[in-house]
Amino acid sequence: MRNVKKEIAELLAAQVESLTAEDIEKLIEIPADPKMGDYAFPCFRLAKVMRKAPQMIAADIAKSIEGNTLFEKVEQVNAYVNMFIDKQEFARLTLGAVCEQGGAYGNTEGGKGKTAIVEYSSPNIAKPFHIGHIRSTVIGASIAKLYEATGWNVVRLNHLGDYGTQFGKMIVAYRKWGNKEDVEKEPIKTLLSYYVKFHEEAEKDPSLEDEARETFTKLELGAPEETELWQWFRSESLKEFSRVYDMLDIHFDSYNGESFYSDKMPAVLDELKAKGLLQESQGAQIVDLEPYGMTPALITKSDGSSLYITRDLAAAFYRKKTYHFDKCIYVVASQQNLHFQQWFKILELMGYEWAKDCVHVPFGLVSLEEGTMSTRSGRVVFLEDVLKAAVEKTREIIEEKGVNTDNMEETAKTVGIGAVIFQELSNYRIKDYVFSWDKVLNFDGETGPYVQYTHARAASVLRNAGAEGRKFDVSGMDLSYICGDAGYELVKLLYRLPEVVADAADKYEPSVVTRHIVDIAQAYNKFYHDERILVDDEAEKNAKLLLTYAAKQAIANGLALLMMKAPEKM
């Protein structure tokens, strides 16, 4: 599709010697008020170079480009050149691209030929898959889709937390207070109760902590009994995790967790020693990062057991060798900022130039209305319970409103789970927020159900017109019928979808897409209310159906980037 902004930049570059077309493209704005044009170019920056008042520069530029066929009109307003694009031509190129690309509309090719690894979700084995995990899970899954939409080959990794002292605690607790039948019946809730019990008892008897550390050391050394229990905990946990992933329609290419890299750590330690980076400190091995403004990084504990940082280094080397990634993205809470800064710096100190291709994408935390979640105290909200409650609430609303749907259960699942995902992805990822049942299950306002309903409304219009499944084509269409205020505003939003998707990928920020498809839905609903679509005049009706089809397709494509389905009836 033609890049209008780029064309304008090239046109302006011929009039402005001091800036390149690339510089100008970055300066071009989209006015908030449509009366100020479709695009605006500020001239403040040129005043010093051209030694003229910005208003005079704007007037000269406006005069020099006003005859170009790209524009309906060009105006100088103060220090701005305001440009109004020819509406029908703009509608033709936008809707033509939607018709031609269909489900691929919004995609670009900036990452073609490159590979990105996205590591996300990564829950801890034998612990609850709680509402806090939804952040990494859906933000990461959406980033993976955004990268695919911008041309990258994407590898999805679930780096399971299946190693560490916590498993020493779990094994000790199971031996003292557990039984096999309870674990098999409700694995996560039962194992959580053991974990909570361990910390309650350890407060009374601190020697339990030493026993747990000794047990984990045995596990690291491959002791058969400890290994068998650990593998069983892992297997039972994955069954429960998979059930939630299926509900969210989220999949991974690999579930290699921390344990997978345990036999790859000695090589990392040897290399750190060989390169003179390891130092001993109170029996532990560290890398001193104080010269770089960070605390020392603990590589192995005094008892010789490994830590997260050692396993992350081993994982990075394995991934580079296996996948030859151009970018490795870690979607992990902002609490771990220092951890990532430390081991990225260690990679760099080891001499690996590709350390710059490892990217930590942090996000804010979820807390409960009654305070912070804690697996140690058992104060958690299970993600599966949230998803089931959302489906049940949606089913009640469908029954209450007598919604026309072919499959009640499928619609309730599509809309209910979609509501939870959309609410999560509508927040800026870096912001902390408080989980509220009322907010998650509120379907009014700028929500997932609102966007899905708008898609279903557009589908209904096409069905009523006998145009369901019709192959639309802009050739021969009289697009003047959709260039009124409401129609043209919608066209402009549709045109921007590829730019928005690329921007969201670049910023690792799915909420950019979430907000844009809300804007498209609101614009289509305004068009629907302001204009009669199914009119007698065939030329007018066809143009309006074309715009309806394009809006429906763009909403569906946007929802897909958020792992959401677009119902035809609702």
- How many other CB atoms are there within 10 angstroms of residue 570's CB atom? 21
Please answer whether residues 405 and 337 qualify as being in contact, where contact means their C-beta atoms are separated by less than 8 angstroms. no
Tell me which H or E stretch contains 190.
helix 187-204
CA count, 13 A, side-chain hemisphere, 440: 26
The span from the CA of 246 to the CA of 241, in Å, is 9
Q: Which of 6, 26, 63, 127 is catalytic?
A: 127
The span from the CA of 554 to the CA of 126, in Å, is 41
133 given a catalytic annotation: yes
Residue 514 phi, psi dihedral angles, 5° rounding: -55, -50
Question: Could you tell me which residues are beta bridge partners of residue 39?
Answer: 83
> Of 444, 417, 564, 546, which is closest to residue 99 (Cα–Cα)?
546
- The helix, strand and coil proportions of the chain, stated in percent and rounded to the nearest 5, come to 60, 10, 30
130 given a catalytic annotation: yes
Residue 74 phi, psi dihedral angles, 5° rounding: -130, 135
Please answer whether residues 78 and 68 qualify as being in contact, where contact means their C-beta atoms are separated by less than 8 angstroms. no
127 given a catalytic annotation: yes
The span from the CA of 380 to the CA of 89, in Å, is 55
> Of 451, 522, 450, 530, which is closest to residue 493 (Cα–Cα)?
522
The span from the CA of 409 to the CA of 392, in Å, is 9
Structure tokens at 215: 């047990």
Q: Which of 5, 130, 159, 413 is catalytic?
A: 130
Please answer whether residues 176 and 132 qualify as being in contact, where contact means their C-beta atoms are separated by less than 8 angstroms. no
Phi-psi region of 5 (alpha: psi -120 to 50; beta: other; left: phi over 0): alpha
Please answer whether residues 245 and 198 qualify as being in contact, where contact means their C-beta atoms are separated by less than 8 angstroms. no
CA dihedral 6, 10, 15, 20 (to 10 degrees): 90
Q: How remote is the C-alpha of 461 from its chain's centroid?
A: 31
Q: Which of 133, 327, 455, 544 is catalytic?
A: 133
Which residue numbers are catalytic? 127, 130, 133
